[in-house]
């Protein structure tokens, strides 16, 4: 199997993992709204995943860039830029003292990312499938 097909297979798996992560985030936020979890625990839990998510996503984007998969790279570049900007403003971590005030925003962001990863998942799968079939 050539590299590019492998890359898209890897991308599919990563997108699925990120998708699950976003589902997890969404569930946690709705738990917070229902008072099943307190904001301190929520932030401690979610903050563990913030950087890994961003790193995984950035790595994937970088891999597409190296490989010259320009469309896949172009899809991912805005989110990478968004994440970099968040980190440079030191706003990437969830703050327990502000979480209720910013919950709406966080949820919206989470839903958008969820949709984004879902689209990515199908796009990578489609690309992988095409590349894979081309070999056979």
Partner 1 sequence: MNASMGGLTNQLNNMNLGGHSQTQLITVNLIGVPPNVGDLDAPPPLINLPPNSSVTQSDKANCEPSYKRCTFNSVPSTASLLSKSRLPFGLIITPYRSLKEGDDPVPVVTDTVIARCRRCRTYINPFVTFVEGGQKWRCNLCFLSNEVPSQFDWDLQTSQQANRWNRAELNHAVVEFVAPTEYMVRPPQPPVYLFVIDVSFPAVQSGAVATAAKTILESLDRIPNEENRTKVGFITVDTSLHFYSLNSNSSEPQMLVVSDLEDVFLPQPDDLLVNLTEARSVVESLLSHLGDMFKDTHTVGNALGSALLAGFKLISSIGGKIVVLQSSLPNIGPGQLKAREDSKALGTPKESALLQSAEPFYKKFAVDCSRSQVCVDMFLLGSQYSDVATLSCCPRYTGGQTYFYPAFNAGRSEDALKFAHEFAEFLASPIALEAVMRVRASKGLRMTSFYGNFFVRQTDLLALPNVSRDHSYAIEVSIEENITTPTVCFQTALLHTTCFGERRIRVLTLSLPVTNSISELYSSADQIAISTLLANKAVERSLSSKLEDARDALTNKLIDILGVYKSAITGSQGASPQLQSCDNLKLLPLLALGLLKHVGLRASSQIPTDLRSYAMCLLTTMPSQLLIPYIHPRFYSLHNMPVDAGTYGPDGIIMPPPLNLSSEKLERHGAYLLEDGQNIFIWLGRQVVPQLCMDLLNVRSYEEVHSGKVTLLQLDNPFSQQVNAIIGKTRESRRGVYYPHLYIVKEDGGDPSLRLWFLSHIIEDRTDTVMSYQQWLGHLKDKVK
Q: Which residues bind partner 1 (CB under 8 A)?
A: 32-33, 35, 38-40, 95-97, 99-101
Least Å distance, CB 37 to partner 1, is 9
In the complex with partner 1, which residue's Cβ is closer, 35 or 136? 35
CA dihedral defined by 96, 108, 57, 39, rounded to 10 degrees? 20
Q: Could you give the 3-state DSSP secondary structure of residue 5?
A: helix
44 to each of 26, 37, 39, 40, 94, how far by Cα in Å? 15, 11, 8, 6, 8
Least Å distance, CB 38 to partner 1, is 6
In the complex with partner 1, which residue's Cβ is closer, 99 or 110? 99
68 to each of 2, 71, 79, how far by Cα in Å? 14, 9, 18
In the complex with partner 1, which residue's Cβ is closer, 82 or 100? 100
Least Å distance, CB 14 to partner 1, is 30
């Amino acid at each position: 199997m050539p590299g590019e097909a492998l890359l898209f297979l890897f991308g599919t798996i990563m997108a699925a993992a990120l998708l699950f992560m976003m589902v997890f985030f969404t569930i946690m936020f709705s738990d917070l709204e229902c008072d099943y979890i307190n904001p301190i625990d929520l932030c401690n839990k979610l903050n563990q995943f913030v950087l890994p998510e961003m790193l995984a996503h950035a790595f994937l984007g970088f891999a597409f860039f190296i490989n010259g998969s320009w469309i896949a790279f172009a899809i991912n570049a805005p989110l990478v830029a968004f994440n970099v900007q968040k980190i440079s403003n030191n706003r990437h971590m969830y703050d327990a003292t502000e979480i209720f005030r910013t919950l709406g925003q966080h949820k919206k962001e989470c839903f958008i990312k969820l949709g984004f990863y879902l689209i990515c998942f199908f796009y990578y799968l489609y690309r992988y499938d095409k590349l894979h079939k081309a070999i056979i």
